[in-house]
């Protein structure tokens, strides 16, 4: 079994759900809808995200998103910043919540690094997987929802969202279309190599239909 297909179920009593996908695929919206649905069943839920799920992570997020535009990390530096965010996130937020028996719903996690840095940036997915294993220890998603959408449509959504907030696109959103096409293909390659964990969902459908599909998948691991 290749590193990209390897899976180590979390030893903790909780359940760990991650949402992945390119820019503008609706991850944040769907994460919120899933959290509300889980809470309606009486489950304790820890909603979180990467980067920025801890105080340290929020400082790293400022560097990674390129808000000031003055600091642009190189490929390896970018990966290491994401890994620092993830290691802190797992130790301080994700692992404790799983140990309490909660459901953790995370907007982006390991697959984003393996796709953006490992595949689209060309650092190598197997190398990034080894770093992810080191940063996460025994913590690994029980299920990953991959929201799939044509990059042009996703970037259009991202621009409309940022315009509505009076904000510009972040550093990754400003990458060219070829980069975002490579990201989409990278996520689909991840799903093909690990179909038991990664479930592809068509993000072009109305949000309510997407949410129903996600719920039908997540319900199976509960």
Read off the pLDDT of residues 31-72 as tens digits, 9 standing for 90 and up: 999 999 999 999 999 999 999 999 999 999 988 887 555 678
CA dihedral 108, 84, 63, 168 (to 10 degrees): 0
Read off the pLDDT of residues 120-153 as tens digits, 9 standing for 90 and up: 999 999 999 999 999 999 999 999 999 999 999 9
Among the residue ranges 11-25, 57-71, 74-88, the one predicted with the least confidence is 57-71
Euclidean distance between CA atoms 130 and 144, whole angstroms: 19
How many residues comprise the chain?
222
CB-based contact 13:101 (threshold 8 Å): yes
pLDDT at position 11, please?
62
Q: Using the predicted structure, report yes or no on whether residue 9 has a pLDDT greater than 70.
A: no
pLDDT at position 159, please?
87
pLDDT at position 10, please?
54
Euclidean distance between CA atoms 132 and 36, whole angstroms: 29
Walk me through the domains of the chain, giving residue ranges and CATH numbers. 15-221 (3.40.50.300)
In three-state secondary structure terms, 199 is strand
């Amino acid at each position: 079994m290749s590193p990209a297909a390897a899976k180590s179920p979390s030893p903790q009593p909780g359940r760990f759900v991650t949402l992945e996908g390119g820019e503008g695929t609706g991850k944040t919206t769907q994460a919120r809808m899933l959290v509300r649905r889980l809470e309606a069943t009486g489950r304790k839920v820890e909603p979180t995200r990467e980067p920025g799920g801890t105080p340290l992570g929020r400082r790293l997020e400022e560097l990674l998103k390129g808000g000031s535009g003055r600091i642009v990390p190189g490929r390896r530096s970018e990966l290491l910043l994401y890994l620092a965010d993830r290691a802190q996130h797992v130790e301080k937020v994700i692992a404790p919540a799983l140990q309490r028996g909660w459901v953790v719903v995370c907007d982006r996690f390991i697959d984003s690094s393996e796709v953006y840095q490992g595949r689209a940036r060309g650092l190598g997915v197997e190398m990034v997987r080894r770093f992810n294993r080191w940063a996460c220890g025994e913590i690994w998603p029980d299920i990953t929802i991959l929201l799939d959408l044509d990059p042009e449509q996703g970037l259009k959504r991202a621009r409309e969202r940022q315009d509505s907030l009076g904000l510009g696109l972040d550093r990754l959103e400003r990458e060219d279309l070829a980069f975002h096409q490579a990201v989409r293909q990278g996520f689909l390659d991840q799903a093909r190599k690990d179909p038991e964990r990664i479930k592809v969902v068509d993000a072009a459908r109305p949000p309510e239909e997407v949410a129903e599909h996600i719920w039908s998948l997540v319900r199976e691991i509960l």
